Structure 1
Amino acid sequence: MEGKKSLQQQCEDTVKYLIKRISDKGIAADLRQADNPVTSYKAWPTLIRGGIDIRRPDRDAYFVIAAALARGKVQEDGTQNLGEALRASFDKDSENQGEPRLRRLLSCDTVDEACQIVRPIIHLIQSREKASLSYSRLLWDLKLFQSDAYRDRVKEIWAYSFYGEDTRKKEETKSNGS
């Protein structure tokens, strides 16, 4: 008996499919408009053919990821979660500039609201070219975000990934200096 794919595997497969499809300029143009409610219908054929049910309440997560992949002309999925990629987008001296963006994201209560806030964060990360954002992980996080049971866990992971390295370095400095 063949089991269902895990959510993580589904997200990875979706991102691979979309990356492959954006090599077609016409499809890429349609996908760039996926996160705009007025023009998202242009991306529907590609998304539906990729096995994405656009009738689901979490469809905005797919729309944001599809548009980001197409806008960024992404050729392969990255390795960093959102918190890590946001932190890596700033120089060490200006790292705290990412903090207001992260705090705004952490204040979100719905996946729709999170998708609205994530969109400009992705654009910022892509424009800096210092990070390696994992779009499949972000899609997975956004899909989990819709669940009351997992929303806080996703926020904790993003926060720890953004602040965690600095915290460890400060603790090491304190212990070495004591």
Structure 2
Amino acid sequence: MAELQNLTVPSSDGHFVNSVISRCKIDNGVRAALKKADNPATEYMCWDYLASFGINLEHDDRRLPYVTVGAAIGRVKPDRNGSIAFGKALASSYDEGSDSKPAIARIRRLLACSDVSEVCVTLRPMLSLIASKISLPLNYIRLLSQIKRFPLSPEIVKAQWAQEFYSYAGQKDGKQ
């Protein structure tokens, strides 16, 4: 029952993201463990931290969303959860925005994913790119919720990412 609650209650997403951000500010060991979670061979190094949130480590569909978002937060070390949606952040990582051919290729690759494992593997390099290109923090709570929702409603999540990306239309407010 706790697993289902952890999967569906959005407030737990906010608690997880805000706790990770707070811990990364004061504990470089947690930050280092979360950064290592980007590599499947060293992902286990953050399991103790994930388990403290009651995250089911046995099932990829439940573990990988937290691993992916936790690793992104550990890499960036944001001061707070941001307001930029993933699709908008991806588009703003390119000078041409959503008209950029490499950006379009990346979003299409993400939209072609069929399961959470594939989504998380595809997101990792995109999140690194976003971290290197834009200064405003992502909305990690929204991203975590979207990844967790993917197994239940993949078409809805894909539509959200596409809407965020293609509605960007070259605006420059993500670059500062």
For residue 50 of structure 1, the aligned residue among 49, 53, 63 is 53
SS in 2 for 1:58: helix
Alignment of 1:1-178 (within 5 A): 7-23=9-25, 24-56=27-59, 57-92=61-96, 95-96=99-100, 97-147=102-152, 150-166=153-169
Number of matched pairs: 163
The worse-fitting range, judged by mean Cα deviation, of 88-97 and 134-143 is: 88-97
Identity within the alignment, %: 35
Q: In 2 relative to 1, CA 74–162 (structure 1 residues): closer, same or farther, beyond 3 Å?
A: same
Q: Which amino acid aligns with 1:113?
A: E
Extract unaligned runs of 5+ from structure 2. 171-176
Q: Which amino acid aligns with 1:59?
A: R
- Find the counterpart in structure 2 of residue 174 from structure 1: none
Residue 9 of structure 1 and its aligned partner are, at CA, apart by 1.1
Q: In 2 relative to 1, CA 165–67 (structure 1 residues): closer, same or farther, beyond 3 Å?
A: closer
**Cα distance in 1, alignment partners of residues 35 and 10 from structure 2:** 24
SS in 1 for 2:167: helix
CA contact (8 A) 2:91 2:97 kept: no
* TM-score (norm. length: structure 2): 0.84
Q: Which has the larger radius of gyration?
A: 1
Spell out structure 1 runs of 4+ moving beyond 6 A: none
Residue 166 of structure 1 and its aligned partner are, at CA, apart by 3.0
**Cα distance in 1, alignment partners of residues 47 and 67 from structure 2:** 9
Extract unaligned runs of 5+ from structure 1. 168-178
* TM-score (norm. length: structure 1): 0.83
Q: In 2 relative to 1, CA 151–6 (structure 1 residues): closer, same or farther, beyond 3 Å?
A: closer
**Cα distance in 1, alignment partners of residues 65 and 118 from structure 2:** 10
CA contact (8 A) 2:109 2:122 kept: yes
Q: Which amino acid aligns with 1:83?
A: G
Q: In 2 relative to 1, CA 60–34 (structure 1 residues): closer, same or farther, beyond 3 Å?
A: same
CA contact (8 A) 1:82 1:138 kept: yes
**Cα distance in 2, alignment partners of residues 145 and 77 from structure 1:** 21
